[in-house]
């Protein structure tokens, strides 16, 4: 029994540390990376994360790719008249020097299109992010229900 308890402490302790500390990549730090769950045969979903830049030069998120989607883009939400629309950021998403950008529901997001599989809560998928200066990094992103993001919204 004691060993089982220790095992759970290790597993949950480890995942908490991974979430809280984020992933350090050169001058960047990536936190709270998650993908929105989908119903079966749904074609698209969103990916969300926080990117911190601890350096004194700006960087730009210029690309995203994932093998579970035929096409992946970086999107912004914009008001067009009184309609909220999303569109790809052709020049990428600037992460200011000594600043941070939060991709979250209703705002900037990663857009995964032509999904090859359903996004099921707690599944972990690898997603490659490409930055203009820092290069590419592949990170694990866990699938969560939509309500997950609300905890982190302002």
Query: Under a CB-based contact definition with an 8 Å cutoff, are residues 75 and 86 in contact?
Result: yes
* 23/86 with CB nearer Cu ion: 86
Beta-bridged to residue 71, according to DSSP, are 113
Query: At closest approach, how far in Å is the CB of 49 from Cu ion?
Result: 14
Burial 87-119 (b: 16+ CB within 10 A, else e): eeeeebbebeeeeebbbbbeebbbbbeebeeeb
Size of the site for Cu ion (CB under 5 A): 3
Q: Is 148 in the site for Cu ion (CB under 5 A)?
A: no
Of the residues 111, 115, 127, 129, which one makes contact with Cu ion according to CB under 5 A = 111
Q: Considering the rule CB under 5 A, would residue 104 count as an interface residue with Cu ion? A: no
Residues contributing to the site for Cu ion (CB under 5 A): 75, 86, 111
């Amino acid at each position: 029994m004691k060993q089982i308890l220790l095992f759970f402490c290790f597993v949950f302790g480890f995942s908490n540390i991974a979430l809280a500390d984020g992933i350090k990549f050169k001058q960047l730090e990536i936190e709270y990376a998650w993908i929105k769950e989908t119903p079966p045969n749904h074609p698209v979903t969103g990916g969300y994360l926080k990117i911190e830049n601890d350096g004194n030069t700006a960087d730009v998120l210029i690309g995203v790719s994932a093998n579970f989607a035929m096409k992946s883009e970086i999107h912004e939400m914009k008001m067009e008249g009184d309609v909220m629309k999303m569109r790809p950021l052709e020049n990428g998403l600037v992460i200011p020097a000594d600043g941070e950008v939060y991709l979250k529901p209703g705002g900037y997001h990663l857009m995964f299109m032509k999904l090859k599989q359903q996004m099921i809560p707690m599944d972990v998928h690898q997603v490659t992010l490409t930055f203009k200066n820092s290069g590419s990094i592949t990170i694990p992103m866990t699938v969560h229900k939509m309500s997950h993001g609300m905890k982190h919204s302002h």
